Amino acid sequence: MNTQNDKRIVMTLDAGGTNFVFSAIQGNVEIVEPIRLPSNAHDLELCLSTLIEGFSQVKSNLSEQPVAISFAFPGPADYPNGIIGDLGNLPAFRGGVALGPMLEEKFGLPVFINNDGDLFAYGEAIAGFLPHVNGLLEKSGSPKRYKNLIGITLGTGFGAGLVRDGELLIGDNSGAGEVWVMRNKLHPEMNAEESISIRAIQRVYAEKAGVEVNSELAPKDIFDIATGEAKGNSEAAKEAFRQMGEVLGDALSHLVTLVDGLVVIGGGVAGAHALILPATIEEMRSTYVDFKGVKFNRLVQKAFNLEVTADRDEFLKGDRHEVKVPGTNKTVAYDPMARTAVGISQLGASKAISIGAYAFALHALDK
């Protein structure tokens, strides 16, 4: 999709447990000053009236009529029907609320609601990481191009979205990409999010440093300790990010095996990628062994870290050469290197989610 030149306007919302931030997008660009209102998550009627007020204010600031409302809502939902389920940080919605149909009735516009991890992946596939990598491949002279993307968000929790050949994979239960419930490699009795989250970094740092868990010690603080920019136990800080990277690499290996595409990482903790991704790539390049003791690669694809120059250069180069066409004097280009790559968001999570919401609405309308 070429949404950059699309003149249609879509109203959007960044829905959090504390605040709702309303805006509007045209051609992948935010065209109004965002309107921030308290979510009033404790009171359903007040929360719903806040949603109506926010979108009403945005609409009044537009010079043209919007064609849709599209936004991300955190937590479980029947997204195709716009029904929000039980949300931990928005308790007023417990029992199910037909939010999409309500907004459609109020504004006379189609309403699209999706998971934030899904829209992050979609935004990066439309206007971020996927076209960026394909552009690098084209510039390097490689015939290789990618159509599939796994989007990962690292922050309070562990989220994901899956894009296959330009289509967002939502699933029959709106549950595709619920990676937080994957098995935890280091703690098999637990889910992966227990080692891929802000609380995981805080927990491991405290364990290795021999101190009490401090929930006010942010991942950035622990990153600064690891890099020597702040006082603390540097080795414990490094190990906290290394463990996250290892469990992330295990989860990504399963995802890449099923999806066979690129991986983009965003969210607040992604800023520590220099300490996370080495262990991630090491895990993705690890081996299995069969009952005869023979080792073989865990992945069919070779994994590369696009944030490391040498890795990026090898990924772009591949193993391309010419092979003869039997019975003729002709040759064809051949690159037998199956490969995937992991890199950091080109847009930032918030912008990617907004563009994803915009593109999803336009794509749905065009269909």
CB 127 within 8 A of CB 243: no
Cross-strand bridge partners of residue 213: none
* pLDDT (average), residues 329-356: 94
According to the model, what pLDDT value does residue 46 have? 93
- Residue 205 to residue 211: CA distance in whole angstroms: 8
332: amino acid identity, one letter: V
Q: Are 162 and 169 in contact (CB under 8 A)?
A: yes
Cα 251–chain centre separation: 14
Checking if the pLDDT of 33 tops 90, the result is yes
Q: Which of 27, 10, 84, 19 is nearest to 50 (CA)?
A: 19
8 Å CB contact between 164 and 344: no
By the 10 Å C-beta count (0-12 exposed, 13-18 middle, 19+ buried), 345 is classed as buried
Q: What is the DSSP letter of 3?
A: G
pLDDT at position 87 over 90 = no
Q: Which domains does the chain possess?
A: 3-114 (3.30.420.40), 129-346 (3.30.420.40)
Percent of the chain with pLDDT over 90: 84
Highest mean pLDDT among 32-46, 91-105, 219-233: 219-233
Q: Residue 72 has what pLDDT?
A: 87
With a CB cutoff of 8 Å and minimum separation 6, the contacts of 266 are: 120, 124, 151, 152, 153, 154, 344, 345, 347, 348, 349, 352
**1 contacts 43 by C-beta, under 8 angstroms:** no
What is Dmax (Cα atoms) for the chain?
Answer: 75
38-86 pLDDT, tens digit per residue, is: 988 788 999 999 999 999 999 999 999 999 999 987 766 888 999 988 7
What pLDDT, in 10s, does the model give residues 295-336?
Answer: 999 999 999 999 999 999 999 999 988 999 999 999 998 899
Q: Which residue has the higher pLDDT, 1 or 158?
A: 158
354 contacts: CB under 8 Å, gap ≥ 6 = 12, 14, 23, 25, 30, 123
User: Mapping DSSP to helix (H, G, I), strand (E, B) and coil, where does residue 64 land?
Assistant: coil
What is the reported pLDDT for 89? 61
What's the rounded Cα separation, in Å, for the pair 139 and 320? 15
- The per-residue pLDDT for range 157-212, each reduced to its tens digit, is 999 999 999 999 999 988 899 999 999 999 999 999 999 999 999 999 999 999 99
Q: How confident is the model at residue 96 (pLDDT cuts 50, 70, 90)?
A: confident
- Amino acid at position 112, single letter: F
Q: Which tokens hold the place of 120? A: 């992050």
Distance CA 205, CA 321 (A): 48
Across the chain, what does the average pLDDT equal? 94
Least confident of 72-81, 219-228, 262-271: 72-81
